[in-house]
Every structure is written in C-alpha cells, then in structure tokens.
Structure 1
C-alpha cells in the first residue's frame, strides 16, 4: 500500500467531470478507436459518474474506472453487486500503480461506506485481476452448430409454440419482462432497467461487424392472446460457399420462461433459411447441449466470463444461499482488503447463514481470488483444491464446502459491462 502511494502521489484521483472526457481516455487505451456519437450516448446513459474514478496528472486525464450499481442474481436471490468496467490507463502512464490505486480505492470505499459487499467485472486480459482478488466465477460455452447437426431431441416437448420474427424495437416490453426473470434463475445475470435494456438492444450499423441488422424471434402462446414466453436476438452475416448460401447466424441472447418456449425458439433459430452455422455463447449447462442430438458437431469451447471479488466477507457470505448446511472455519488470505484477512466461521441452516471472526483452528485456507471464484456457485472448491489453490486442514471439509457453495444451474452473465 505504501509503495502504491509513493508511486501515485503525483496523480489526482477524483470523479469524472464528464462522460466525454472519460470516454476519450478509454478510446486511447483501446487503440484510438472513436465510438460513434450514437454509441457514446447509449453507454453514457448507464454511466454513473459519482461512483466512478478519473485520474489526472497536471490536470490531464490519464486513467479511468467505471462503477455500476447492479441488482444481480446470486445463489438465494438478487443482491446488490458493484460492477467495475472501463478500467484503463493511458499508454504513457503505465507501470505507475494507477490500476492498483483505482481498484484499492474502490474496494476500500465500498467497505467503508457499507455499500455492495461483492464486486464483479469482465476482463480483456484474465491474468491481470487475480492479483486483486477477483476469481473466475462464470463460464460460457461457445457453440458453432453446423447445418448437418440441427436435429433436436424434443419429442417430449411437442407440439412447439409458434414463433414469429419481429423488429426488436417492437418487442422491448416483452424482452424486458422475460429477461427480468433470469436473475432469479441464473446467478451472474443482473436486472436491466430501461437504460440497460436500451444498451442491450443497441444495434448501430458501425458496430455490427459486417452482419445485418439485429432481429428478434418471439415464441408465443398458441391461444388468441399470443403472450410471448421466450425470445432470441440474432443477426445474420452473409456467406457463400461454392455459390450456395451458408450464412452465419449470430445469436446474441436467448431467454425463455419455460422449457417449451426455449426449445421453440431454438428450433426456429436452427431452421433459418440460408443459414450455414448458428453461433452462440451459452451457459456451460445450457439446455441446448441436451437438446442437440449431435452436440459434438457444435465443437463446444468453454471460455471464462465474469470475475467476482468478495469486498466485505462478513456481509457477503450471509447474503447468499447455500445448497447444504455447513459449519466451517475459513482462513482467508486477503492482504488487499485487510478487514477480510483471517479466520471466519461460516454457519448455514434453515434460518439463513452467519459469518463471524473466530479463533478456532482453520478447516480450509484460501485466498480472496478463490473465494471470489466460488461465490456465484459455478466453480468447484474440489477442483481448486486439486489444483493446490485451496488447502484442506480437516478431512472432508473441501467436499462439504463444495456442496454448500454449488449452485444449479450454473451462473452466467450474458452482457458485458
């Protein structure tokens, strides 16, 4: 900490005075690509300047950190989670402790003000954030489903719901309603207010990467009311092979209220005319992997996604739910958040969970990174222990803790912030 202060004492840490100046620093850090004014406006709408950090030297901005207020799903329900984004440092100010300084100030501020006890972020470089106590908490499986592998095992779900294609702008209310059930099903998914919904539906031509405009599929009740129960957002990229159309179908989102609506949407996606390959990033235990008769041909590839960090252990562990009762003493190694460092007794039961400091002998030892990784229930403590990243001091403690922390279905965060 003292070393960081010495290296950053010539810099001024404060809140940004405008989104445009903040965005200019971000653009330089990402190679000088200027976002179109329309996209800046969409991103600026969700920006929270009073919570974010802006670093200056001699009055000139040189580093950024955006902080968002999320109502995110965790095991047991929705809870306040602090989302970190746009953590950037100007190329001429690297190696001076600015990133560490911004993150430490953010974590300390959340703790001191009694705000969100857990932080989360997406990262362009996964190796960076483990040293700040962020652990990989959610994963996605990348699928590329070819034409010959579109058979679905849906016999027990027949007959499927009717599906229609619509413009996303016509379906905003339906999309928002259906998506709002996801945080209760999938930890890692957060509630999207109107501004975040607009960002999710943003479809500027210059950001399509050569694809056509975004479209929406709605799976609806077959009765006269036709209430939508599932939807997909997708776009097509034209591709021709030997004079035959083999378009790529890029699936941005698929959400549904029930299994019938989900299968109905996927059946329609896989039946798109001209399509060659359907491409999607889905939860690692997504039903589409069980629906496909030939999942191997989709060449599933697992990728890291959301990283989480327990900011205030005493509040974070009791606020989540547990899949099994447990009485366990954890020895947490957390030099960046010294208020977390040390031994804690975690007890869970029918009346909830409690976590308090204790002098009892440790049964498990782990760092903040490992605790962050298991917080949303998608990473196995057994796996981490096998990798030597969790130390067991009492036989059976790892497996007992793994059962308690695990969540089914796996956590998933479909939107980068």
Structure 2
C-alpha cells in the first residue's frame, strides 16, 4: 500500500498478516480504553481478514489499526453489492495528532477504489470524526422504550404459533436460516454468510454485558429475538429491563407475536428495542405515546466511486441530472457527473462537461445514497446547491426508496 497521506514522516503503513493479530487486538483494546483479554482476541479473530487490515507503525511499534470486513449490503431496489465495512479503527494513546487516523482512512479508500468496491460503511464511535474523510450520515436508528404490558390496537393480528426460549446452540441455526431468507430484500441489511460473521455479531463476553445477563434467544417459526435482561428489584416489585439486541420477523403477525412475548414477560418493567426509524411497533400500540423514542446515528456511508455507486442502486422516478461533486480525499470522484435513469430505475453515470444542475460534496451523496434522507433536507441545511430550477425536487424524489433503510447490525 502506497503511503500518500500527510502527517509524521517517521510513520509507515502496511497490510497485515495472521501473525499481526495479537498485537493488532492489543492496540485496539488500548485505544478503546478496555482491558485486553483472550475473549477480546477471539472476537477479533472471528472477523479478522489480514489482507483487508492495515496498521500504522512508528518504527517497529504498531500504533494505529483499521480493518475492512468483506460484506454485501442491500442497496435501494437492486441486488446486494460488495461493501467495505470499516471496523477496528484505533490509535494508541500517546500517538494521536500525528496523522495516524488519516493514513488508515485514506489507505482504506484507495484499497476499495483499486478493488472496485463502490461503498464504505461504518458505525462511528464519535460523530464528529468521519465527515472529514467524506462519510455522510446514511441511516439512523431509534431506541424505543415501552412499558411492560403495553396494549396493542385491537386490529393488530398476532401469529398464534408459540415463542420458545432456546439455548444458543439450538437457536442460532434457526436464526441463520430465517435471516438468509429475509436479508436480500431489506434495504441496508448486511449478509451473514459465514460462521465468523455470526460469531462476531453475537459475541457475548462479560465486558459487553454492562451488568446484564448473557444473550438469550426467543424463537418463533417466522421470527426471532436476541435479548438481555437486567434485574431491578424495587420496593413496589420487580422492574427488570429487557434490552433487545436484534428482532427479525418474516411477517407482520410474526413480528407482533415476538413483540407481544417480550412485552408480557414476568418481572419486567420495560422493554428497550433498537429499531428502524419507521419501526411498525409504534403504530401497533393502542397508545403510541407509550413508546418513548430517541434517535441515534447508525451507518455512516462513503461513496468510494461515484459512477459505480450510483449505478448499483435503482431510482423510483426517471431522472437526468448533472451533479457537481466535491471530494477532497478521493480526487477520482471530483467533478461533474451525469446521472440518467429511465422508467426501469436503472442508471447510467458518466463524466460530463455540461453545466451542473446540483452541487454537493461526497459526504452529502453518502447521506442520501440509501434513501433515508432527502436531498431537499440537505439543501435546507446549506449542503446542496441548486443551479437549475426544479432539479432539487426531481433529484430528491429520485434518491428515495419505498422502504426506509435500516442497518441495526453494529460491526
């Protein structure tokens, strides 16, 4: 990997090997202010891809880490596409402000560009970091807190098949089978085709529990939930908190059955669900105010190659626009691009010298890519500029999709 990033000239960056994993995991644990352990090393090993992992060195000492997981993601209206899932980003204490992070982030984007992967995605530890590398807030999620026993509307259909609690080793194969059937049709979902992706997703050492139980598994023929519980014995009785790690369902009635199961558990005071911004639960309740909602950022999206990314997805309305894209990190993206999509939603994207209809930076393009944010919203924030009257309204509709994107799988 060529080192073209600004910063300390004494630093170098290279691709890793299997032998680097123990030190890689130690640096990462230190950067995140947690104790390194055999369990942490095992979690990193389950996902480690040395050929897609990079580290910055000061002499022989590793001081910065980063990894690109090989995943596929569902884009609006089209087949899943390869994506670089950015994870394990860390800089050792005492080595910050030396350009270490910049080397990692720029190196990853060059790697993906050369590999022909059009998108990079990540979950941000801090919301102010990744915008300067061209990442935009592409999807959001909601934390929904609902009191135990909250009633449904009378017209909500609940699947009568029972929900069973199963031990992990019995539940995971059932969950995998259902997830494999559902994920390719849900915008923002990631594939989980290997044992390692499931192990990483369901990693469950004591350090991640925060005083809660180990993961528990509730399974329905058409749904499943992974959750933890935290006991809370109060003077008026038990008020345990159930936190749902994942809830997946094939049908509305199966979804209702799983939610009903969680809301009716004994000894519980409230159920907390990490959900999509359009979660159906709110509209199932007799009193929607019972669901307290807090909005958080989820996926940050980076368009690595404008032409490859914009042709990977589909568009709900015909569009013919010239976009003037600013990209200070990836110069191959900068300039004007003509986006043309017909009635079938398929697009062609080519370079052009024609006047721009809209001007925006690459982070704004990542924000609207999955259809969770309107271009018109970014224009109101001063982040998109309209040069041709009517272009903003057309483009804003074209980048939407008929289902809200969601990615609730942190990595």
TM-score, normalized by length of structure 1? Answer: 0.93
Contact 1:186 1:410 in 2 (8 A): no
1:375 paired to 2:377 = no
Match of 2:260 among 253, 257, 267: 267
Q: Where do residues 37-56 of structure 1 align in structure 2 (5 Å cutoff)? A: 37-56=38-57
1:125 paired to 2:126 = yes
How much does 1:5 deviate?
4.5
Residues 37-77 of structure 1, C-alpha deviations (whole Å, 9 max, x = no match): 13421321111111111111120111111111111111122
SS in 1 for 2:66: strand
- In structure 2, distance between residues paired with 1:351 and 1:320: 8
**Who is 2:228 aligned against?**
235
Contact 2:233 2:240 in 1 (8 A): yes
SS in 1 for 2:57: strand
1:78 paired to 2:80 = yes
- In structure 2, distance between residues paired with 1:50 and 1:318: 27
- In structure 2, distance between residues paired with 1:134 and 1:37: 33
Q: Where do residues 219-230 of structure 1 align in structure 2 (5 Å cutoff)? A: 219=220, 228-230=221-223
**Who is 2:165 aligned against?**
165
- In structure 2, distance between residues paired with 1:351 and 1:309: 22
**Who is 1:336 aligned against?**
329
- Superposition misfits of 4+ residues, deviation over 4 angstroms: 3-6
Stretch deviating more after TM superposition (347-356 or 122-131): 347-356
SS in 2 for 1:91: coil
Residues 255-286 of structure 1, C-alpha deviations (whole Å, 9 max, x = no match): 01111111110010101111101011100001
TM-score, normalized by length of structure 2? Answer: 0.94
- In structure 2, distance between residues paired with 1:159 and 1:338: 53
Corresponding pairs, count: 404
**Who is 1:90 aligned against?**
92
**Who is 1:416 aligned against?**
410
How much does 1:400 deviate?
1.1
Match of 1:390 among 384, 387, 410: 384
Residues 5-43 of structure 1, C-alpha deviations (whole Å, 9 max, x = no match): 452321121123421110111112112x22431342132
How much does 1:186 deviate?
2.9
**Who is 1:25 aligned against?**
27
How much does 1:199 deviate?
2.1
SS in 2 for 1:74: coil
Contact 1:318 1:355 in 2 (8 A): yes
Change (3 A) 1:244 1:66: same
Contact 1:182 1:189 in 2 (8 A): no
Cα RMSD, aligned residues only: 1.7
Contact 1:78 1:183 in 2 (8 A): no
1:306 paired to 2:312 = no
Which structure 2 residue ranges, 5 or more long, are not aligned? none
- In structure 1, distance between residues paired with 2:5 and 2:310: 31
Contact 1:4 1:100 in 2 (8 A): no
1:346 paired to 2:339 = yes
Which structure 1 residue ranges, 5 or more long, are not aligned? 220-227
Change (3 A) 1:9 1:384: same
Contact 2:5 2:106 in 1 (8 A): no
SS in 1 for 2:266: coil
